[in-house]
Structure 1
Amino acid sequence: MKMLTVKHCERNDEVINHSKKREFGSVPSETFPIPMRQDSGMEDAEACRDAETEIKNCSSIGEAIIILNHLFGFCLEQGFIAAKAISDKKEAESLIQELQNESILSDVILNHALEDAKRNTEQQNRSRDASPYRECEEDRSQANGNQIAQDSRDELREVSPPASAHKIRR
């Protein structure tokens, strides 16, 4: 179990040193175990019993105040860490839920768009196949093709005179 000692608490050293000199005289330089952040409930309970024992066994009120100040600061810090972790977890869960909802909505919209496009294509194909004008258009295009072929044959006849005409001119 990792323990924090009064001697090693850097951020509260100035306050502790000041209170040692001013109010209670000098405090021995022995170390007081203060539990650090624990991973399990059993270790936390054990650390609390150790801290309680240290408070009961301390030789002066000054030592008890120092230990209690460190414990109070430690408890506050752990409370803030736990609250932040809970807040971060809720925020992450909310974001995950929002992204899942957006994904589902996007899938639904995409599926509807694909179904609409498929229906439109099928409907256009059916309407082209069933159209009475389609037969007329086919007949017209065939007639136009025949007409173009006939016109080109006529043009060929007009441009080149018959071979017998060439022989006569000579």
Structure 2
Amino acid sequence: MSFGLTLRQYLDLAEEARSDFQADHLSLRKLISVCVLTNHLPEIVFAEHAAANPLKVHGQTRVDDYRNQIVQIACPSALIIRDLCDYAKHGPRLRRSSVQVDQTGKQTKLELDTASFLAGAPNHQEVERFVVTLRDGTERLAEDLVRDVVNYWNAEFVAHGL
């Protein structure tokens, strides 16, 4: 079934989901929504352009190659977003060998208070954020991952006239 969306409209939905998540960065529902929308962009772009204009999908002939060899190499955050999307859809265990995410949860982080810094009296404040911990122990803020992936797709749309 199709909703009759153009590629641009689909990207617009992903951008709206990112804005919703940025405005409410502790909403797991909003994080999952933006992950699902951005994770499926490779399949949607591939379905639209692979046969008629393969240059728009970097000449790839299989959707998995487009996702794995093009998208995830150009935007490593896309693989992490894929993991989050798949965990949301399929539960606590994923069988793909490429899974990077170990756990995700809310954590309290110390962040520089920009207003106090600009006033000449640097101060830090505790802020709660969704933190994605990778299997190698690296921690990434979910907000940064979402931003990276949406920015990648915006640039891809411009560069390849999608």
Identify whether the pair has TM-score above 0.5, normalized to the shorter chain: no
Larger radius of gyration: 1
TM class by smaller structure: under 0.3
Structure number with the higher helix fraction is 1
TM-score (norm 1): 0.24
Structure number with the higher strand fraction is 2
Higher relative contact order (CA 8 A, sep 6+): 2
TM-score (norm 2): 0.25
